[in-house]
Chains A and B, each alone.
Chain A
Amino acid sequence: MLTALMPRTNRGRETMMALVFASPWFVGMAVLVVGPFFMALYYSFTDYRIMGDTQWIGLANYRELLEDDRFIKSLKNTAYFTALSIPLSLIASLAVALLVSKPFRGSTLVRTTIYLPSLFGGVFVAALASQVFSGNYGLANRLLAYVHIQGPQWLASPEWSKPTFVILGLWGVGAGMVLFLAALQSVPVHLIEAAIVDGANSLQRFWNVTLPMISPAILFQTILLLIASFQVFTLTYVLTSGGPADSTLFTVYYIYQLSFQKFDMGYASAASWVLLLFTFATTALVLLIGSRYVHYEFDGAN
């Protein structure tokens, strides 16, 4: 390497330049991430309502959260939604990726079509869903009526509201498909060939070769989905406002209500810290379980 031959003083200059180039990120980290992160922790120990003084009240917010039925309900709703949507999304996006992974006539068009719904922003999905899943005149129930099924009230029913959200999430299966397609294409052909030589049938090949080889992508996608589903907000805000009967009251929406409708910033900060800890704990658990099963062919050098 040529730079290795350069005099030692250039190292110092290179570090200087690096700090200059990376400075937007350093400032961003300080101003947008680390600072606010600890401010939120501080607020969570105070009674702070935007107008008026900030009062230190110790753990009172956290104690109140423990007895706040709506907060507990919002955590349960979030957990239910996460537990239902993540496995379904993973399976659906992997299945779709497998269906379109081998090139065929028109495969680009097919992949693009499946990806199309992922381009719809949350508000637009919500606006469309409000009509498709309308209990009375919605497209879903009219289609079900063709096969003589009386459709549910979807978003207006406490039993069906969360599953409807899961269905809406599945409509964006194309984003996961793209990730898995990239992973599937990096599975070495010689391994598949070797398995064929050894007489493995397609199911065995999938289970013993393909699945281990793409397991890092599965873990990565699981974590992305996990973080996203803990954040579910827009659909609730536009479609249900948390209802019916608080069945779609998810934690981020509840935090939004506390902070921007009641302006109870201290209490809302405490709630957001609890959600953060839940997110971390779940992510750590997934990583821990994942590290047992995930197969890494290459070292993490890139």
Chain B
Amino acid sequence: MQSSPTVSPLSDVVTGNRSRAQRRLRSVGRAFALTVVILLCLLPVWYLLSTSFMTRDQFFQPDVQWYPDPFTLENFRRAFRIVPLDRYAWNTLQIELVVVPATLISASMVAYAFARLRWPGRDKLFLVLLATLMLPPQVTLIPLYVIFRHLGWIDTWIPLMLPAFLGGNPFYIFLIRQFMKGIPAELSDAARLDGAGELRVFWSIILPLCKPVLAAVAIFTFIATWNDFFNPLVYLQSEAKKTFALGLSSFTSQYGTDVTALLAATTLGVLPPILLFAFALRYFVEGITFSGTKG
């Protein structure tokens, strides 16, 4: 695989100066590896989707069943009868309606202080903020449970919502702060000279420019809240208050045998994050990670 030491033009960076046969061999190998990876990623998803529309009889056939035949919606009907999936979904959406806006506002306020204001101790405290990313949540879990219990907040959504008002996940503060640092200082300085207060600079100048990162944070927050299992498990008890993720687990423990209904419910459960992600794909730091236009 030794390439000759002649100067290669930039376009040759990928392949070097290898012979044609070597290049073809390599690209075939690459295509093969990619196919395997994609199959491993998609096969379980296809299995989930197709089984959701299968009859139980077909599901328990001894061979692999590649697609539903006959096609049925019966699994979804049964899933809704076994557990109140619509109630779970509506509960989660109500929590999202509070958590997502609260996270956006509180995290961008904190990010603003770290990115655009100068004050003593700022950089050291920012390191502290980054360090809290590494703090395992189970250490604070028991005291938080005790506190919330004293306040009468067990089996309410307050413990799930409160962190969103207090900056949310430090990682989101970090993301927004990085984005805000990229906005030229002259913009806010000019507004300040024109007599704008700090709140106005934040709200009318900086925040509108942060739309891309705020969209990304909103989506991450929505998905993380939708998928969260641990916190609802600890804090919620009554059926009427459960989130979708938590409700699904009671499905498995009580009705573990109705497999196709369980998979139908799972399909419904993964749909919101996937739809949201697909819808918002263009917001995801265009060019950097997904679109691949930058080489």
A interface, CB within 8 angstroms of B: 1-3, 11, 14-15, 17-19, 21-25, 27-29, 31-33, 35-37, 39-40, 43, 50, 96, 99-100, 102-103, 107-108, 110-117, 119-124, 126-128, 130-132, 137, 139, 142-143, 146, 171, 174, 178, 181-182, 185, 189, 192-193, 196-199, 201-203, 223, 227, 230-231, 233-234, 237-238, 252, 255, 259-260, 265, 268-269, 272-273, 275-276, 279, 283, 302
Q: Evaluate contact between A127 and B274: CB separation under 8 angstroms.
A: no
A-B contact pairs, 23 of them (CB 8 A): A22-B125, A24-B165, A37-B135, A37-B143, A40-B143, A50-B146, A108-B291, A113-B38, A117-B45, A119-B270, A121-B228, A123-B269, A127-B266, A130-B262, A131-B47, A137-B59, A193-B8, A227-B136, A259-B142, A260-B234, A272-B139, A272-B142, A302-B181
A89 to chain B, nearest CB (A): 14
- Does any Cβ of A come within 8 Å of B16's Cβ? yes
Contact of A123 with B166 at beta-carbon distance under 8 Å, contacts A33-B135, A196-B3 already known: no
B25 CB–A CB distance under 8 Å: no
Cβ A123 vs Cβ B142 within 8 A: no
Interface segment, B69-77, B185-193, B208-216?
B185-193
Cα–Cα distance between A121 and B269 once the two chains are bound (Å): 9
Instruction: Give A249 Cβ to nearest chain B Cβ, in Å.
Output: 15
Nearest first, the 4 A-B pairs at minimum CB distance are A121-B227, A28-B166, A199-B5, A36-B143
Give complex CA distance A112, B185 in Å.
35
In the complex, which residues of chain B have a beta carbon less than 8 angstroms from the beta carbon of A111? 289-290, 292
Q: How far is the CB of A183 from chain B (nearest CB, A)?
A: 10
Which residues of A lie under 8 Å from residue B106 when comparing CB positions? 24-25
Question: Chain B contacts of A283 at CB under 8 A?
Answer: 134
Expressed in whole angstroms, the Cα–Cα distance for A1 and B190 within the complex equals: 11
Does B14 have its Cβ within 8 Å of any Cβ on chain A? yes
Is A119 within 8 A of B273, CB to CB?
yes
Name the contact of A99 in the complex, choosing from B7, B33, B128, B259 (C-beta under 8 A).
B33
B10 touches A124 (CB 8 A): no
Q: How far is the CA of A2 from the CA of B146 in the complex (A)?
A: 50
CA distance A139 to B293 in the complex (A): 37
Q: List A contacts of B4 (CB < 8 A).
A: 199
B289 touches A119 (CB 8 A): no
Cα(A113)–Cα(B281), bound, Å: 12
Cβ contact of B120, chosen from A15, A198, A233, A276, cutoff 8 A: A15
Residues of B within 8 A of A (CB): 1-5, 7-8, 10, 12-14, 16, 30, 33-34, 37-38, 40-45, 47-48, 51, 59-60, 63-64, 106, 109-110, 112-114, 117-120, 122, 125, 128-129, 132, 134-147, 149, 162-163, 165-167, 173, 178, 181, 185-186, 189-190, 192-193, 198, 202, 223, 226-230, 233-234, 245-246, 248-249, 251-252, 259, 262-263, 265-266, 269-270, 273-274, 277, 281, 288-295
CB of B114 within 8 A of CB of A259, answer no
Question: A-side binding surface: helix, strand, loop or mixed?
Answer: helix
Bound-state Cα–Cα, A32 to B192, Å = 35
Contact B112 A21 (CB under 8 A): yes
Contact with A22, one of B114, B138, B139 (Cβ below 8 angstroms): B114
State whether B270 touches A99 (Cβ < 8 A).
Answer: no
Complex interface: chain B residues within 8 A of A123 (CB): 227, 229, 245-246, 248-249, 269
A3 to B190, CA, bound (A): 10
Contact, CB under 8 Å: A196 / B167? no
Complex Cα–Cα for A108 and B19 (A): 29
